[in-house]
Amino acid sequence: MRDPSGPPIHLLVVEDNPGDARLVQLQLADAGPFEVSCRGSLAEARAWLADHSADAVLLDLSLPDSSGLPTIDAMRDIAPDLPIIVFTGLDSEDVGMAAVKRGCQDYLVKGHGDGHLIARSVAYSIERKSIERERQAAADQLKRVLLQTVRTVSLALEMRDPYTAGHQKRVAQLAVAIGEHMGLAQSVVEGLHTGALIHDLGKINVPAEFLSRPGKLTAAAFDVVRSHARVGAEIVAGIEFPWPVADMIRQHHERLNGTGYPDGLTGDQIIIEARILAVADVVEAISSHRPYRPSLGIEAAMREIRDHSGSKYDPDVVAACNEVIRANGSQIFHDDTDLPAVWL
């Protein structure tokens, strides 16, 4: 039970029946230090919360401007961080479970129990919400650390191979834009971004002089360069990424018609992330300056992928890339170091 000498809990009661609201106030008066404010609709609750803060909300599910479970969504829109305790006349286990799944912390039935029950539910709900917040903050931090580590590895590789400095970052920018344009789930786009940032990781195993002038390589040296896809995948194989990063790396030089390497995969055998990486990689490589040749231009890059759409490259990915480049031009390769939206 609450410490009566502790600070009061500010409870917002959203209830359109003045009798029910008054009853809650009376019941809580005996159950500990509470400051209770009552509002009769979601609109009134929204207006009140614009100028006041609360520790929790006791929410009736049948209000003049909302009824049923969508009321919980509406309340979460108004105050995403506020613990919600549903307070309703409907005594139903199913509705209670559905309410909790929808993000409320507890479900109370009017007329069941006294003020102490409400007080306990409110206190537990506040505690649960605070644990939820801490867990989310820890997960967000872990995600940021993972991305920072991946970026550091990406930069380390490019410091050794200045001829392609920035290549992986720019491929990541274009790949993310293509993935978002194709409507891929945010978690898939996050994985795509991560895989793109280290897609050439295996080049760490390729002598630097092979990387600087690929046009003059012997067949044997070219084989070594091509091994980077397999080697990169092997390097990350032991990392438990929440995405298929090793497959993205291994498959980024595969081609739809089986002419790619290292496995000569075809069509859907190549994961969508790798099909996107293949296009982003080629477009970035052709349109960027290299010490041994000037930029061939974004138009040449687009011609390459359009000419081989459906043979080497996934036509849906080519179409999305076309749209993205048409809308942004080469501005898609921006130099800022901010995290992309998907990571925020």
Q: Which residue ranges make up the site for Fe ion (CB under 5 A)?
A: 200
Exposure string (b/e) for 277-301, b if CB count within 10 Å is 16 or more?
bbbbbbbbbbbbebeeeeebebeeb
Closer CB to Fe ion, residue 38 or residue 176?
A: 176
Shortest gap between Cβ of 214 and Fe ion (angstroms)? 11
Closer CB to Fe ion, residue 96 or residue 260?
A: 260
CA angle 185, 142, 191 (to 5 degrees): 30
Closer CB to Fe ion, residue 254 or residue 314?
A: 254
- Determine the Cα–Cα distance for residues 170 and 174; give it in Å rounded to an integer: 6
Q: With beta carbons less than 8 A apart as the criterion, state whether 197 and 148 touch.
A: no
Shortest gap between Cβ of 61 and Fe ion (angstroms)? 55
* H or E element in which residue 87 lies: strand 84-88
**β-bridge pairing 62-63 and 66-67:** antiparallel
Closer CB to Fe ion, residue 72 or residue 196?
A: 196
Closer CB to Fe ion, residue 106 or residue 254?
A: 254
Q: What are phi and psi of 28, to 5 degrees?
A: -75, -20
Closer CB to Fe ion, residue 261 or residue 343?
A: 261
Omega of the bond leading into 262 within 30 degrees of 0 (cis): yes
Structure tokens at 255: 């081609």
Q: Which residue is nearest to Fe ion, using beta carbons?
A: 200
Shortest gap between Cβ of 311 and Fe ion (angstroms)? 19
Closer CB to Fe ion, residue 39 or residue 167?
A: 167
Q: DSSP letters along 235-281, please?
A: HHTTS--SS-HHHHHHHTT--TBS-SSSS--BGGGS-HHHHHHHHHH
Shortest gap between Cβ of 237 and Fe ion (angstroms)? 17
* Alpha-carbon separation of residue 264 from 252, 254, 257, 261, 267 (angstroms): 11, 6, 8, 5, 10
Q: Reduced to 3 states, what is the DSSP secondary structure of residue 136? A: helix
Structure tokens at 57: 């909300």
Shortest gap between Cβ of 199 and Fe ion (angstroms)? 6
Shortest gap between Cβ of 253 and Fe ion (angstroms)? 6
Crossing angle for the helix pair 228-236 and 219-226, nearest 10 degrees?
30
Shortest gap between Cβ of 143 and Fe ion (angstroms)? 25
Shortest gap between Cβ of 232 and Fe ion (angstroms)? 8
Structure tokens at 46: 């929204």
Closer CB to Fe ion, residue 65 or residue 161?
A: 161
Structure tokens at 310: 């459906």
Give 293's strand partners. 290
Closer CB to Fe ion, residue 110 or residue 226?
A: 226
Shortest gap between Cβ of 297 and Fe ion (angstroms)? 21
CB atoms within 10 A of CB 164: 21
